[in-house]
Amino acid sequence: MGFFDEPYDLPTAADGRVEGVAKVTGGGKYAAEYKVDGLCHAVLVGSTIAAGKIKSFNLDNAKQVAGVLGIITHLEKPLVPGLADEAKIKEARLGLAVFHTDKIFFKGQPIALVIADTLEDATYAASLVTAEYEKEPAKLDFELALKNIQLTPAGKDRGNIEALNSAPHSVEAEYNIKAEVHNPMEMHATIAEWKADDKLKLFDKNQGVNNVQRTFAKLFNIPVDNIEVISEFVGGGFGSGLRVWPHALACIMAAKLVKRPVKLMLTRPQMFHSVGYRPAAWQKIKLGANADGKFVGIHHQAKNGTSVYENFNEGITRVTRLIYHFNNLKAEAATVPLNLSTPTWMRGPGDCTGDFAIESAIDELSYKLKMDPVALRMKNLALEKHPDNGLPWSTNYINECIEKGAQMINWKDRKATHSQTIEGDWSIGYGMAVGAWNAGRGTASAGIQMQKDGTITVQTAMTDIGTGTGISMQNIAHESTGISKSKIKIELGNSNLPPAPSQGGSNGLSSIGGAVVAAVSALKLKIAEYATMQNEAFKNAAAADILLSDTGVSFKTTNNHFISYTSLWEKNNLNILEVEASSGPGAERQKFAFCSSAAHFCKVRVNRKTGKVKIERLVTVSDGGKIISEKAAANQMSGAAVGGIGMALMEEQLTDERLGTLVGNDFAGYHFPVNADAPIIEVAFINKPDPNINPQGSKGLGEVGIIGTAAAIANAIYNATGKRLRDLPITPDKVLLA
Amino acid sequence: MKQEYNFSRRFFLKTSSALGALAFIPKGVKAFYEEVKNFIVPKKEQLPLTISINKKSYAIKADTRTTLLDLLREDLNLTGAKKGCDHGQCGACTVHIDGERVLSCLTLAATVPGKEVTTIEGLANGDQLHPMQQAFIECDGFQCGYCTPGQIMSAVACVKEGHTKSVAEIKEFMSGNLCRCGAYNGIVESIQKVAAQ
């Protein structure tokens, strides 16, 4: 059947992202989509209880299914050297050492893996695997469990929190947020192929190929370079791909067992307990201000859910220390162990949760003070230096974000008291909130390969999870070389390429941008070195003085010394010119503090009869330093705002303690915004480069787009209705009952 | 066509006799489920099928349990249609059958002979992208790209159905296609652009 092998020809370039054509034609290959000879399929079997021990398995029925190649359990499995004994398991710090324990920590925990020739056979056989358990009581109710957990200090106190007791105006309230699940559209998947006993090839969905590579090199006791990880197209992450999860190890073990390449794709219900989630959170805030609106201080307490086998502290109070002057500050936190899988970072981790409480409390305080919430924030912003470490901000334009956002939404139309604008059954209101994020940067490497015709290929191991890493690298390479974009190709998401950090925490572009600039400098110097043979003027030339064009090299200031690539290549007998360079943070980190920030403004309609909240307008203005790719950046911000709508109005992972189970673990039960749930999001940028963070001056955007969105919506609902809703998501029942 | 009839009849007979038998055997709940499982879950059976995909005829043997989505992705290496839920809840697997948008994860492969299936791979005319594909690139109607083929197949149908009179109408008729990146701005803009052409 010849058609299996037909190569799929992609139509040629169009105006947009470097991978645009591949994405709109279905030609781009995501982890589970590679054609591998001899491939078979694996399906995980999950525990049916939430706590206890496995007593025995019944695998007989599954084994009888035609096409079944093998079944892995903790009793029968291939050796994983890095998990060979209890001490090694502990040292591996995997969280859940899949198939290496008889203990059950949560419902759905993988207890067996069925491998078969086809997906249908594996799925059917997996449905026949059963186990006997020794059941133990399970805790899944966060709100019940948190009551017995003691808080401990989270960071240093500032001043004395007793000052709050004499503040003339104050707000004290509790905030509850249900767990949210990342649910990228592509379900996590791995294809594992052992090329030799000590050589492994993985097609895997993740946000950092080098992290995956290192993890498995250690577990299987083989050199890092013997593991190839390919993640060229990643169907979203939002944090779920920052860890190496049990299913990937399970797939590799399966490939070892059956001595064939194995594909494992999680099902959507499995996605809810296999790759982390944003944990449920409880918070209490006490916030005080003087009569003039100057904040006296804040007491922020927070607890978040975690699993019984790992302690995940989200860092909810981190953002409390970032945005405003609080001369008196006390932060406390705790984690609450539950019989659920371990949570992980999800877009705007910690800050997103903490910011909702702070920004809701500030809004509430503004009504007590009879002060505009915009003016109240402006009065208290810490614009000069990081309030915690005292370092001056390299740049911080959060005030400009607020001003621009207020203008865009016509903030002056907002009524100073609630419930003033009514249209039929609908109450209309405005709200706003801000968010900020410590802007980071990691050390990354990039490579460039240049051809005789002036075409360059810029390479990195970093993934592009949809943020626009590829087009941004192209833009930076174009900007710093002078070569046309059509002659700049991008290769990424492959561990054979120059190493880069994982793509998370808004660090992706901030890290790789510098590496591209460094690689371009290396390329210029190398070309100058060869050019010196033809023209002495190039001797010891500085990279900054050299200009590359589509056809040749010259000096920036004068064209007199132009040498074509063709002659350069011929004179030096060159084939492909290759350079690689690394770049990372340096002394600037001791001199400055860095943050990205955003202001979110919202106009809502709330139906008084049904409790339905409709977002009429949502404006997001952010300071992410210099914007490298405007369309992709705007897409990031509007997408984050959509995520914020989900957090505010609909996303909640419910649990049932009695049954020990998640409730509604699919898209019928777990809602995130569909197209009609969001208005056209209005996005703007301050777009001023940060001169210190990295060569291109961009600070990262992914997180700030969602930090504050939920509070802006909740604050607008209050302005519309007078109902202060402190528990997320704000579903219609909560609106009606408030 | 004959094969299809045999398959349906056999399946139906097995299922109905199982249900009939169960009414007389009170073996307790567990046994009840075992019986149901044994009869209702179809056993492996290969059917020869002739299917037309993107105007190309494929003569294949397919497992009777295989969905059109799995047939495309696992057997034919046409991975453009995506699996985002496998339950008809996300729209990532949207293809056209006889010109109408259909969820391929809820369509058994055995039901498509005699019909014309169009996937994202068949939308472009050779090197010439379909206007909707071009619009998605120009309007940046995606981020990660995973829901994109389904969005585009739905978008083409949305225009054809004439549901493009307002932003609200486009949003309503595109709400069966989830996008977790939230690229809805660009998706709506792409559809407006094509509808205006």
Same domain, A346 and A379: yes
Identify which of A299, A228, A305 has the alpha carbon closest to the alpha carbon of residue A261. Answer: A228
Please give, rounded to a whole number of angstroms, the shortest distance from the CA of B2 to a CA of chain A.
23
Tell me whether residues A120 and B177 touch, CB distance under 8 A: no
Q: What is the mean pLDDT of chain A?
A: 96
**What span, in angstroms and rounded, lies between the C-alpha atoms of A370 and A367?**
5
Q: Give the pLDDT of residue A557.
A: 77
**pLDDT tens across B137-161, in order?**
999 999 999 999 999 999 999 999 9
CB A192 within 8 A of CB A260: no
- pLDDT for B39 equals 64
pLDDT for the residue B37:
66
Is pLDDT at A331 greater than 50 in this prediction?
Answer: yes
Q: Is residue A663 part of a domain?
A: yes
Are residue A219 and residue A253 in the same domain, yes or no?
yes
Domain locations in chain B?
Answer: 66-196
* Residues of chain A contacting B84 with CB distance shorter than 8 Å: 185-187, 268
Residue A478 belongs to a domain: yes
The reported pLDDT for the residue numbered A556 is: 82
**Lowest-confidence segment of A279-288, A528-537, A557-566, B22-31 by average pLDDT:** B22-31
Confidence band of A339 (pLDDT split at 50, 70, 90): very high
Cα separations in angstroms, A392 against A380, A437, A511:
16, 15, 21
User: Residue B63: its chain A contacts at CB < 8 A?
Assistant: 118, 120
ipTM summary value:
0.96
Judging contacts by C-beta atoms under 8 Å, the chain B residues touching residue A278 are: none
C-alpha angle A394-A360-A311 in degrees, rounded to nearest 5: 75
Chain A / chain B CB contacts < 8 angstroms = 212
Contact by Cβ (8 Å): A339, A308: yes
CB pairs under 8 A, 24+ apart, for A525-532? A526/A577, A526/A579, A527/A450, A527/A553, A527/A568, A527/A577, A528/A553, A530/A568, A530/A571, A530/A572, A530/A574, A531/A561, A531/A563, A531/A568
Using an 8 Å CB-CB cutoff, list chain A residues near B182.
638-643, 673, 678
pLDDT of residue A653: 97
pLDDT tens-digit profile of A621-644?
999 999 999 999 999 999 999 999
Q: Do residue A601 and residue A576 come from a single domain?
A: no
Q: Which two tokens stand for residue A421?
A: 């604008």
- A3·B83 Cβ contact <8 A: no
A2 pLDDT band, cuts 50/70/90, is very low
CATH number of domain containing A611: 3.30.365.10
B145 chain-A contacts, CB cut-off 8 A: 19, 22-24, 28, 233, 235, 466
Residue numbers of B between 5 and 34 with CB closer than 8 Å to A: none
Nearest to B184 among A3, A124, A642 (CB): A642
User: Same domain, yes or no, for A414 and A449?
Assistant: no
A42: domain CATH number? 3.90.1170.50
Residues A485, A535, single domain; the answer is yes
Q: Note down pLDDT in tens along chain B; length 197 residues.
A: 333 444 444 444 454 455 545 455 555 777 777 777 666 665 788 999 999 999 999 999 999 999 999 999 999 999 999 999 999 999 999 999 999 999 999 999 999 999 999 999 999 998 899 999 999 999 999 999 999 999 999 999 999 999 999 999 999 999 999 999 999 999 999 999 999 99
Q: Considering A584, A617, A648, which residue would you say is the last residue of a domain?
A: A584
Instruction: Judge if A475 and A386 occupy the same domain.
Output: no
The domain over range B66-196 is classified in CATH as 3.40.190.10? no
* Single residue among A568, A584, A600 that ends a domain in this structure: A584
Q: Are residues A484 and A382 in the same domain?
A: no
How far apart (Å, rounded) are the C-alpha atoms in residues A210 and A66?
Answer: 38
Residue of chain B whose Cα is closest to the Cα of A271: B85
- Categorize the per-residue pLDDT at A17 as very low, low, confident or very high, splitting at 50, 70 and 90: very high
For residue A96, the distance in angstroms to the closest alpha carbon of chain B comes to 25
Rounded to an integer, the average pLDDT of A366-389 is 97
Q: Which chain B residue has the Cα nearest residue A641?
A: B182
Which range among A346-360, A544-558, B34-48 shows the weakest confidence by mean pLDDT?
A: B34-48
| Interface check B91 vs A, CB under 8 A | no
Boundaries of domain holding A732: 281-440+590-737
CA A417-A418-A422 angle, to 5 degrees, is: 120
Q: Read off the pLDDT of residues A95-107 as tens digits, 9 standing for 90 and up.
A: 999 999 999 999 9
Question: Nearest CB to A676: which of B44, B123, B171?
Answer: B171
Beta bridge mates, A265: A189
Is B84 within 8 Å of chain A by CB? yes
Whether B171 and A641 lie within 8 Å, measured CB to CB:
no
Q: How far is A121 from chain B (nearest CA, A)?
A: 8
Q: Break chain A down into helix, strand, coil percent, rounded to 5.
A: 30, 25, 40
Q: How far is A231 from chain B (nearest CA, A)?
A: 12
Test the B interface: residue of A8, A23, A35, A206 with most B CBs within 10 Å: A23
Nearest chain B Cα distance for residue A157, angstroms: 38
Let me know whether A102 and A228 are in one domain: yes
Check A635 against B58: CB less than 8 A apart.
no
Q: Which of A37, A129, A185 to mutate to test binding with chain B, by most B CBs within 10 Å of its CB?
A: A185
CA distance B20 to chain A (A): 23
Domain count, chain A: 3
So what's the pLDDT on residue A550?
96
